[in-house]
Amino acid sequence: MTDRQGFFDLGKTGITRRTVIKGLAATGAGVVAPGFVRYAQAQSSAPIKIGFQCHRTGIGAAYGRWYEKTTNAAIKLINEAGGINGRQVEIIIEDDGTDAGRGAEVVGKFANQHKTDIIYGTLFSNVVIGSAPTAGELKIPYYVVSEGYHVASGKLNRYCLQPGITDVRAQVTSVAPWIAANAGKKVTMVFPDYAFGYDHRDYLPPALKKAGAEIIAQIAIPPTESSFTKYFPQIPADTDVIYHVMVGPAVLTFVKELGEFYGSNGPKLFGFIDSLEAVDINSPGLDYLDGSHFWEGAPRYAQADDSDAMKAYRAAVGIDDNGASVSDPKDVSTAAHMFGCWETLYVIKKAMEDSGYKGPEDRAKLIEATEALTEFAEGPEHPQGKKVFNGKIHQVFGTQNISKLEGGKLTVVHKTSIEDGQYEAEADYTTQPL
Amino acid sequence: MAFGPHLLLAVLEGLVTSAVLALTALGLSLVFGVMRVVNVAHGELFMLGAVLAWAITTTIGGNPAIGFMAALVLAPLIVGAVALAAERLVLRKVNYDPEATIVATIGLLYIIQQLALTFYGADARPVPPPFNMRISLPWFGYSGYKLSIIGASALLLILSWLVMTRTKAGLIMRATQYDRETAQAFGIPVDRVYAGVFALGAMLAAVAAVLIVPISQAHYLMGQDPLLLSFIVVIIGGLGSLRGTVVAAVLIGVSDGVISMFFSPTLAKMIATLLVAMVLVFRPHGLFGKAAQ
């Protein structure tokens, strides 16, 4: 299990004055000793260290595994092309157990023990919210790939950025008009009862209202729930569409029980693929989803109009046309989200190059350089598509896909524009001191 | 939905929960009753049963019913063997000392959980039910398989009761539970009884897991909830009492179903916990438990 008490955390072992003096003496001798040149000019040759806060265990583990694969693929390419500012990039991974408390500990560990330059890669919103204050206190840049609205809301701090994936508020705002026009006017929402779900709960209703539809019921489900039939009676009988967004291992049960409850004459379904990331869409029991629609950040299945950049990205990460691992067709990826890791790493590279980043003393410059970015063109570094970055709220905006599940695969039927998802910024991080 | 059908659905859901809970809790209760061992790893043995069910059904393939039947037989046997090994290698070595066994079973919990994570992975994997039948009621549809869980569990509980009350093995277990030293003096191989009971308790958890896995997937963290609920059931029902366990499981399961459907799932958990506190205050030995000798 995780090391909650920090028994194995070397940073916490007692250090006596004598050992410090001994160590100092040894270090001094080492630096003075002739021929000891290793990293004497540390910043110019030592690798840039990126701490990857990874959900290796806990309910986010499937995402964590694919975030790791994507990260490794991107870093391999970056290093082959000469690294960042002429230095190789090294990824250091710590497992946060998809746990908010552990997340904050991991941030401290990166900053104090591994002495990484930055921290990157978190997905689950509870971990991001739990870790952000520590990142702010330690003044270490924290690039998340979380899609939660917490970064853009201004609730976090100047050291937290989300430059690789569109936030949930923009996502729901951009898909709402399509739902109202194509799926139905009376919508019942089913969402997880924590931060990520609240972004949906709070921002879908106003967006739908603007599009002429309405939410007639909102059903919050605890993220650890394993049985769902008990919630279904709360779905009003006149519901046209069930808007579902779920996370965690019980998603298959949710769909199966929905199918058993309604049979063939239930409402239409519109879901966020988050529910089924890393899950084979053709798993037994998921037949009920056939014909329903999903939001996807990046399409899981290879599409007819995929760009060369998208094809190259898919090949580099190692996913086949069905969005599963090329080495194991049963290992389905989290394609709708993990592109964000790839794109975030290229944004970090760009910002480090713009700021002439040399080491931890340049962290403030790195933040400012990231804030100064405005647009990312579609291409090998941004295979999912063009993006617009708002430096004031540290949030990127891109296009979203709506896909239909038919014949055992997801096909994109509508692409939203970047403008569809834009909202008025409610915060300005650039006024906070660095 | 009208009140009547709503209540029916709530009770059905509650009974499914009760059915699985009764089997799992019975295993826990048996181990405590006979051995005085608080098996904290019980939930992980449950999880192991579910994971093995997935492994067995995917290995066999073909008709889901055949794979499921194989899992129903094999998974508990394997889990029983694992428990037997744990009993011989760990619990016996610490002499069944109550404090030491708690720590040892906590260790066992982590070992089993992390082994599952290492070899099975962090994904939730589905096991196809042996048959797919949707029972269509005028107000809502319900899974035929879920109803069959209730039947299967009832059957197993009756079987357990018969074993406990009508066979020599049951007599020996009850004798050991009643007074270990006297039983030993009468030539009962207490040591072997302990090994058997620990394996049997684990097998009950595994059977429950195989029954539930087609409706809830196998996942390496799935052992936590059943463990907690089993403790609640065992405390309310009285440790070591089969009747108490069943009554408490039905009470907790159905009230959980009804309360969480009409109010909220959180309230259901709160009330269950409150009930435990009340029982501990007013009837420390549980509703049907007897005071320790």
Q: Looking at domain A42-166+339-394+427-431, what is its CATH homologous superfamily?
A: Response regulator (3.40.50.2300)
Tens digits of residue pLDDT in A324-367? 999 999 899 999 999 999 999 999 999 999 999 999 999 999 99
SS3 at position B289: coil
Chain B nearest C-alpha distance from A258 (Å): 9
Chain B nearest C-alpha distance from A132 (Å): 26
Which of B41, B24, B17 is closest to B209 using CA atoms? B24
Spatial distance between the Cα atoms of A96 and A61, rounded to a whole number of angstroms: 10
* Interface contacts A/B by beta carbons within 8 Å: 87
Break chain A into its structural domains and give their ranges. Answer: 42-166+339-394+427-431, 168-305+399-421
* Of A62, A278, A285, Cβ closest to residue B126: A285
Instruction: Pick left, alpha or beta for residue A429 (phi over 0 → left; psi -120 to 50 → alpha; otherwise beta).
Output: alpha
Set of chain A residues whose Cβ sits within 8 Å of the Cβ of B6? 233
Question: A388, A397 in Cβ contact below 8 A?
Answer: yes
pLDDT at A21: 57
Hey, what amino acid is at A261?
F
Q: DSSP H helical segments within A87-167, as ranges?
A: 100-109, 125-137, 150-153
* Of A62, A250, A284, Cβ closest to residue B123: A62
Cβ contact A260–B134 (<8 Å): yes
Spatial distance between the Cα atoms of A411 and A61, rounded to a whole number of angstroms: 26
What would you report as the CA-atom Rg of chain A, rounded to the nearest whole angstrom? Answer: 23
- Contact residues for B179 (Cβ-Cβ < 8 A; gap 6+): B293
In chain A, which stretches have pLDDT less than 70? 1-44, 247-249
* Of B13, B124, B136, Cβ closest to residue A230: B13
At the second CATH level, the architecture of A168-305+399-421 is 3-Layer(aba) Sandwich (3.40)
- Closest chain A CA to residue B106: A1
pLDDT at B276: 87
pLDDT at A36: 44
Tens digits of residue pLDDT in A237-279? 899 999 999 866 677 788 888 888 888 888 999 999 987 888 8
Hey, what amino acid is at A379?
G
Question: B208, B23 in Cβ contact below 8 A?
Answer: yes
pLDDT at B293: 44
Window 186-215 of B: residues touching A by CB (8 A cutoff) are 215
Spatial distance between the Cα atoms of B185 and B183, rounded to a whole number of angstroms: 5
Set of chain A residues whose Cβ sits within 8 Å of the Cβ of B215? 227, 253, 256-257
To probe the interface with B, which of A2, A54, A230 has the most B CB atoms within 10 Å? A230
What would you report as the CA-atom Rg of chain B, rounded to the nearest whole angstrom? Answer: 19
Fold agreement between A42-166+339-394+427-431 and A168-305+399-421 = yes
Domains with residue ranges and CATH for chain B = 3-282 (1.10.3470)
pLDDT at A81: 95
Spatial distance between the Cα atoms of B131 and B214, rounded to a whole number of angstroms: 10
Spatial distance between the Cα atoms of A335 and B274, rounded to a whole number of angstroms: 44
Set of chain B residues whose Cβ sits within 8 Å of the Cβ of A56? 122
In chain B, which stretches have pLDDT less than 70? 290-293
To probe the interface with B, which of A232, A260, A276 has the most B CB atoms within 10 Å? A260
Structure tokens that stand for B246 in this block: 């069943």
pLDDT at A249: 66
